[in-house]
Structure formats: structure tokens, C-alpha cells
Amino acid sequence: MVSQVGANRTVESSSTSGMCMGTPRSDRERQAAELLSRLREQYPDATISLRYRTRLELLIAVVLSAQCTDERVNSVTAELFEKYDGPEAYAAVDQDELAEDISSITYYNSKAGYITEACRKILEEHDGEVPDTMAELTELPGVGRKTANVVLQHGHDIVEGVVVDTHVQRLTRRLGLTEEHTPERIESELMELVPREEWQELTHLFISHGRATCTARNPNCGDCVLEDICPSSKTDSEVDLASGETW
């Protein structure tokens, strides 16, 4: 059996050819299932690494985490969440003061504006509560679909989509699950490939693997549990399917 998995890569099914290095499963659904099964074993405790106590703190932490490490965000929010105890406090503060409080975070000026404006809107239109629908969340300043998905999943226990961050984007392409480039298109392909009850877990497993082994610049293919089913494996592929460029 011959099938197409990954970017222009024709492969033989492992069920008929036996396993060989870097050979993905015969179709993307099986590839996704196998990847998740292995990563589940490797990272049994994978979960969100941002720290928060309330839905509003979760929202703020996710807004701050755009293009910034969770580690840095956690170190800033440890003090921030003690200083501001609810939407009223963020809505009332002078934006420059809030920017100063988060000044070690990337794009702190813009993010201070988003937080102040989002809290004003939450007070005026949502009775001070973080909304629980995708439409309402994405109307808040600084909140896109990715942030809204995180808040819905971890703040409201509602799984409406797949959180596609930079790690998920890179790994799904490397591993032959998608050839799409944008988070929105990758998300809709993953929603077709993976059962809904695994959407939330998928993100945390891929983020864990992206941080520990399959890093952006220097993935450690020699020590990777997915190596034999990864079409980008440096041990026998010249191309990184995430970028489409040679390693």
C-alpha cells in the first residue's frame, strides 16, 4: 500500500513494508493517533504551564504570553496578580503604570493597553465575568482565537477548538500531519484528524515535545520517541517539513 503523507512524500505503509526509519503511518489519522499515544507515555503530566487562580488571571496570563515564554510570564504575574485583584483594578489603573509593571514582557505597552481595555469591556458588557463563548472572547482587545481557545478550555471547561501555538504549528508540519501554514488552517485540519476529547491534550503534548526535544533550531532527532515515524527526522531526511528547507 502506498500513500501520501507529509509534504510531497510518498511512503509505504508500515503494515505492509515493516518499520523503517522516519516512515510515517499510512494515513494522517493513524499518524496522529500513534504520535499522541507515544507522547502521552513520554509526557504523562503535560498541561498548561501558566500560573493563575481565576479566569481573569488566566486571560491576562495568556495575553501576556504572546511571543513571550511562559516562564517569564509566570515570574511577572507572581507580583502582578498580588497588586491587581480583579477587573476593576486593571480598568482603573493608568496604562503607563500597568506597562511599567509588565515591562520585562515583550510588547508590554500594547499588552497593557489590551488588558486595560479588555477589563473595561468585561465590566461594562459582561458583569465583570470573563465571557464563555468564542465570539464574545474574540471581541475583547488582544484576544484572538488561540487565546480564546485556551481560556475556554482551562477557564470554562469548553473545548471548541485546538490551540495552535508556535510549537504545535512547527511539529504538526514536521510530523506530516498538515501542509498548511496558518494556525487557523492547521487547527481546522487537526479538528478533522483527532477526536475532540484529545484536542486539549494534543496541544500540551506537542508543546512539551517542542520544548524538550523537537526544538525550532536544533531538534534532537537521535533521542526522539517519534524518530521512526517522523518524515523530517534528520537521520534520514534532508528537509525540515516545518520550514520546507534543508536541515
Give residues in contact with ligand SF4 (CB under 6 A). Answer: 174-175, 213-214, 219-221, 224, 226-227, 230, 232-234
Q: What are the φ/ψ torsions at residue 117 (nearest 5 degrees)?
A: -70, -40
Task: State yes or no: is 240 an active-site residue.
Answer: no
Interacting residues of 27 by C-beta distance below 8 A, sequence separation 6+: 3, 5
The H or E element spanning position 111 is helix 108-125
d(CA 241, CA 247) in angstroms, rounded, equals: 10
Nearer to ligand SF4, 34 or 136 (CB): 34
User: Shortest Cβ distance from residue 126 to ligand SF4 (Å)?
Assistant: 41
Q: Is the dihedral of CA 138, 165, 64, 107 positive or negative?
A: negative
* Closest CB to ligand SF4 among residues 121, 174: 174
Radius of gyration over every alpha carbon of the chain, rounded to an integer in angstroms? 20
Strands (E) across the chain are located at 2-4, 10-12, 239-240, 245-246
| Nearer of residues 161 and 210 to ligand SF4, judged by Cβ | 210
Closer CB to ligand SF4, 19 or 135, in the complex: 19
Least Å distance, CB 112 to ligand SF4, is 36
Tell me the closest approach of the beta carbon of residue 96 to ligand SF4, in angstroms.
43
Q: Which three cell numbers stand for residue 200?
A: 486539549
Among the listed residues 111, 121, 146, 234, the single catalytic one is 146
Q: Which one is catalytic: 165, 228, 234, 236?
A: 165
Bridge-based pairing of strands 10-12 and 239-240 is: unpaired
Q: Is 146 a catalytic residue?
A: yes
54/220 with CB nearer ligand SF4: 220
Residue 12 dihedral angles phi and psi, to the nearest 5°? -90, 145
* Intra-chain end-to-end CA distance of the chain, in Å: 29
Q: What does the chain come to in residues? A: 247
Q: In angstroms, what is the minimal distance from the CB of 10 to ligand SF4?
A: 18
Cite the active site residues: 146, 165
